[in-house]
Amino acid sequence: MNYLIKELFRHKWRTVAGISGYIIATLFILLVMSVTRTNERDSIGILKGTGTHFIVYLPSSTSCCVSCDNESSSGSLIAEGVFTMMLNSDLIFSIKEIEGVRDAAPYLLYRIFDKNLQSEVSLGGIDTTSIATKNNVCAATNVISGKYLSSDTDEIVAEESFAKAHGLRVGDTLNVYASKLKLAGIVNSGIKPGKADLYAPIDNVRTILKERMKCMSPGFDMNIVLVEVTDARIQNSVIRQLKERMNYLSVSSYNCYQPASEVMTIMEDTSTMLTALIFIFLIIFSAKTQLTSLMERFREVGILKSLGWSNARLGRQILLISLIQSLIGASVGVISGIILIFLLNNYNFRLFNTMEFHFQSGAIPILLLLSLAGGLLAGIFPIIKIYRTKAGDMINNYM
Amino acid sequence: MAGKQIECISLTKQYNSKNNTVTAVDDINLGIGNNELVLLKGRSGAGKSTLLNLMCGLIKPTRGKVMLDNDCISEMSDDSLSILLTEKTGIIFQSFNLLPTYTVYENIEIALVPKGADRNLIKDNIYTMLGQFNLKEKAGLMPSELSAGQQQKVAIIRTLIKQPVIIFADEPTGSVDDETATEIMEHLLYLKNEKQVTLVIATHGNIPERIADQVFVIENGRLKV
Residue B191 lies in a domain: no
DSSP B219: E
Q: Cβ contact (<8 Å) for A300 and B91?
A: no
**Subunit contact B82:A308, Cβ cutoff 8 A:** yes
pLDDT bucket at A152, cuts 50 / 70 / 90 = low
At residue A66, φ and ψ (nearest 5 deg) are -135, 155
B115 located within any domain? yes
In angstroms, what separates the C-alpha of B210 from chain A's closest C-alpha? 30
Q: Hey, are the CB atoms on B111 and A310 less than 8 Å from each other?
A: no
The answer to whether residue B86 neighbours chain A at the CB level (below 8 Å) is: yes
* Best A12, A306, A321 residue to mutate vs chain B (most B CBs within 10 Å): A306
Best of A307, A321, A388 to disrupt the B interface (most B CBs within 10 Å) is A307
Answer whether A310 touches B (CB < 8 Å). yes
Contact residues, chain B, for A312 at CB < 8 Å = 79
Residue B116 lies in a domain: yes
Greater pLDDT, B102 or A256? B102
- Say whether A391 and B58 touch across the interface (CB within 8 A): yes
pLDDT at B225: 65
Cross-chain residue pair A300–B99, CB shorter than 8 Å: yes
Q: Under an 8 A CB cutoff, do A309 and B113 touch? A: yes
Burial class (CB in 10 A: 0-12, 13-18, 19+), B35: middle
Residue B90 covered by a domain:
no
DSSP-based three-state secondary structure for A342? helix
Task: For residue range A36-94, list pLDDT tens digits in order.
Answer: 777 767 776 677 666 788 999 999 887 654 555 555 456 888 898 888 988 888 889 99
Residue B73 covered by a domain: no
Nearest-CA distance B56 → chain A (Å)? 9
Spatial contact of A195 and A189, defined as CB atoms under 8 Å apart: yes
The total domain count for chain B is 1
Cβ-based contacts of B84 with chain A (< 8 Å): 308
Q: Does residue B72 register a pLDDT over 70?
A: yes
Please tell me whether residue A107 adopts helix, strand or coil conformation: strand
Prediction ipTM score = 0.91
Q: N- to C-terminal Cα distance for chain B?
A: 17
Task: Answer yes or no: pTM beyond 0.80.
Answer: no
How much is the pLDDT for A20?
87
Does residue B104 lie within any of the structural domains? yes
- Domain hosting B123: range is 98-162
- As a whole number, mean pLDDT of residues A156-182 equals 92
Collapsing DSSP to helix, strand or coil, B184 comes out as: helix
Residues of B in contact with A308 (CB under 8 A): 82-87, 111, 114-115, 162
B114·A307 Cβ contact <8 A: yes
**What pLDDT score was predicted for residue B180?**
87
Task: Read off the pLDDT band of B116 (50, 70, 90).
Answer: confident
The answer to whether residue B168 sits within a structural domain is no
Q: Where does residue A38 rank: exposed (0-12), middle (13-18), buried (19+ CB within 10 A)? A: middle
* Radius of gyration from C-alpha coordinates of chain B: 17
Q: What average pLDDT score do residues A259-266 get?
A: 77
Q: Given B78, B85, B106, which is nearest A307 (Cβ)?
A: B85
- Is residue B127 included in any domain, yes or no? yes
Which of A119-123, A347-351, B133-137, B209-213 is least confident?
A: A347-351
How confident is the model over A315-319, as a mean pLDDT?
A: 88
pLDDT at A103: 92
**Residue contact B101–A390, C-beta within 8 A:** no
Closest among A181, A180, A184 to A145, alpha carbons compared:
A184
Q: Which residues of A touch B93 (CB under 8 A)?
A: 395
**What pLDDT score was predicted for residue B26?**
93
> What is the per-residue pLDDT for B2?
55
**Which tops the pLDDT comparison, A386 or A257?**
A386
B83/A305 CB distance under 8 A: no
Length of chain B: 225
| A213 confidence band (pLDDT: 50, 70, 90) | confident
Question: Residue A248 — pLDDT band, cuts 50, 70, 90?
Answer: confident
